[in-house]
Amino acid sequence: MTTETVWEGRYLSVRKAGTWEYAERSGDITAAVIVAIDGEGQLLLVEQYRVPLGRACLELPAGLVGDDSAGESVAEAARRELEEETGYHAATVEERGEFFSSPGMTSERFTLVVATGLTRTGDGGGDAQENITVHRVPVDAVEGFVAAKRRAGVAIDAKMLLVLGGGLLAEVAGR
């Protein structure tokens, strides 16, 4: 089946293969999604306005791998993004596998990582365009925190399901 490029930007392309239309990350760029729990048992979450949604979204810290420097590893990108978004540096970054965001409409993929040995280095908040709010949430209170944010009208990133189910938080927090 032949693939046609409908539109192409710096980070995203829209492709058509037969009757199927989908978005694709340009340049085979992937992302790192970070589960980071500090020494006090607090999960680091970020909240930021997302243009496609038209509202704020609650998310795990994350960012593109190699978008500014070719050859960047997932671990390097995770450390850089965690520090930029939350103000915490991770001594250790452990990859937990590759996942696909929405395979019915995009080829976007990410690697889930667990960041440990956190040291506070700043306030976080992202770059000048991001305006990120950092939340430190006790592991035992994450489910209630997410529910309260949803009731307040904040969008919830689907990747939050990775920490709401399956025991990942309990494993990382050593419970």
State the SS3 of the chain. CCEEEEEECCCEEEEEECCEEEEEEHHHCEEEEEEEECCCCEEEEEEEEECCCCEEEEECCEEEECCCCCCCCHHHHHHHHHHHHHCEEEEEEEEEEEEECCCCCECCEEEEEEEEEEEECCCCCCCCCCCCEEEEEEHHHHHHHHHHHHHCCCEECHHHHHHHCCCHHHHHHCC
Residue 175 has pLDDT above 60, yes or no: no
Within-domain flag for 45: yes
Within-domain flag for 2: no
The bridge status of strand 30-36 relative to strand 109-120 is parallel
Within-domain flag for 90: yes
Confidence of residue 21 (pLDDT cuts 50, 70, 90): very high
Flag whether the pTM goes above 0.85. Answer: yes
Residue 173 has pLDDT above 70, yes or no: yes
Gap between the Cα atoms of 79 and 82, Å rounded: 5
Confidence of residue 166 (pLDDT cuts 50, 70, 90): low
Share of the chain above pLDDT 70, in %: 98
Residue 50 has pLDDT above 60, yes or no: yes
* Domain of 80, in residue numbers: 28-173
Within-domain flag for 35: yes
Asked if 81 contacts 29 with a C-beta cutoff of 8 angstroms, the reply is no
Q: What is the mean pLDDT of the chain?
A: 91
Within-domain flag for 10: no
Within-domain flag for 8: no
What is the domain-level CATH number for residue 146?
3.90.79.10
Tally the domains of the chain: 1
Residue 128 has pLDDT above 80, yes or no: no
Asked if 26 contacts 11 with a C-beta cutoff of 8 angstroms, the reply is yes
Gap between the Cα atoms of 111 and 104, Å rounded: 18
Within-domain flag for 3: no
- Mean pLDDT, rounded, for 135-157: 96
Within-domain flag for 117: yes
